[in-house]
Amino acid sequence: MRAARLHEYTHDMSDGLSIDEVDKPQVSGGSDVIVEVEGAGWCQTDNHIIEGMWEQYVPQPLPMTLGHENAGTVVDVGDEVNIVSEGDQVICHPVQTCGTCRPCRQGETMYCENDAFNGLTTDGGFADELHTSERSVIPLPDGVDPADIAPHADAGITAYHAAKKAVDGLNPGDAAVVIGVGGLGHIGLQCVDAMSAADIVAVDVKESARDLGSDLGARYTIDPTSEDVAEEIENITDGVGAAQVLDFVGADETTALAPDICAAGGDHYIIGYGGHIHEPAQALVNGEFAYQGNIVGRYAELQELVALVERGEVDLHTTRYDLEDVNDVAQKLEDREIDGRAVITP
């Protein structure tokens, strides 16, 4: 079968992956599930993996097939699998967990001590077929196209995971700031809108992204290239600041906004990444705000997100590409030429 493989780290997105012919995955254990991939979302993390940014955090045996936002049709299962069978359409949580370690027992599946992460530590879904497990697949509702929902496997669940935490700190009329209305941000904005009565402020350098934010529920938009973000939020909130900030960019410039835009006791969620946090400790003490990191989300949260999708509360803006176009997609994302989410359709 075909697979888009990373052989060596590079900063040249136009030539990062090669299309190789590899053996199809096989059922080797009782809980195994083999999925014919119909949609695999391209993520900024894929670019970071190609660059080698994750190599110091997790083991990455190269060559490796990338792709961690996967959905498709089950083509084979192990003899212990009960929740799906051949022919079922599924979305795949990117993490395959053991189910027996302490974090798994506590329901914190993202902290599994024996996990395998598709497209990050083991072969992913930029291929004709994907090897996963029963603990990682969720049957799709009737009428949901796997290619349409695939990015929710990571982009969606990551945005939902942050939004769910942020909503706990939002009362009606509070301001929630969404920085970056891109592939993740446009999902997170909808999740906050669906689960709270907050006034949403969308911040993005692109006019098309700000327009999308308005269409999806943002009450205010800010262009950081021509407006002072802190000043605008001060005016919007009558000097109180934003109760919750969801930063889907995670650059030095956006993390630096926290002391000036967070309300007392507020939170600045780091969802996008690539930058740093350089604020003085006194700024955190003075405002008693907190930086919160986020990585994907629990299996149960992906189930919850699928429920929101089924109800029409969260919509994905996607563009489809062939498997052979993976490097073009990577370069387009690097150049900020993709609105919403790109989906590879093997």
- Is residue 182 predicted with pLDDT exceeding 90? no
| Same domain (yes/no): 164, 150 | no
Domain count, the chain: 2
| Rg of the chain on CA atoms, in Å | 20
Residues counted in the chain: 346
Are residues 287 and 163 located together in one domain of the fold?
Answer: yes
pLDDT tens digits, 23-41? 999 999 999 999 999 999 9
Say if residue 97 is in the same domain as residue 22. Answer: yes
The verdict on 62 and 102 lying in the same domain is yes
Same domain, 97 and 65: yes
**Domain shared by 305 and 189, yes or no:** no
Global model pTM greater than 0.85: yes
Question: What is the rounded CA–CA span in Å between residue 186 and residue 20?
Answer: 33
Confidence of residue 47 (pLDDT cuts 50, 70, 90): very high
Q: Among 293, 315, 330, where does a domain finish?
A: 293
* 52 and 116, same domain (yes or no): yes
Calpha distance 138→149 (Å, rounded): 12
Share of the chain above pLDDT 70, in %: 100
What per-residue string of b and e applies to 76-105 under the rule 16 or more CB within 10 Å gives b? Answer: bbeeebeebeeebbbbbbbbbbeeebebbe
User: Do 150 and 257 belong together in one domain?
Assistant: no
Mean pLDDT of the chain: 95
Domain CATH code at residue 133 = 3.90.180.10
Whether the pLDDT of residue 339 is over 90: the answer is: no
| Strands of the sheet with 290-293, listed across from one edge | 220-222, 199-203, 175-179, 242-247, 262-270, 290-293
DSSP conformational letter for 173: T
Q: CA-CA distance, 269 to 277, in Å (whole number)?
A: 12
Q: List, for residues 82-138, the tens digit of each pLDDT value.
A: 999 999 999 999 999 999 999 999 988 889 999 999 999 999 999 999 999 999 999
Its domain, for residue 329, covers 2-154+296-344
Report the 10 Å Cβ neighbour count for 60: 17
Amino acid letter, residue 315 = D
One domain for residues 145 and 236: no
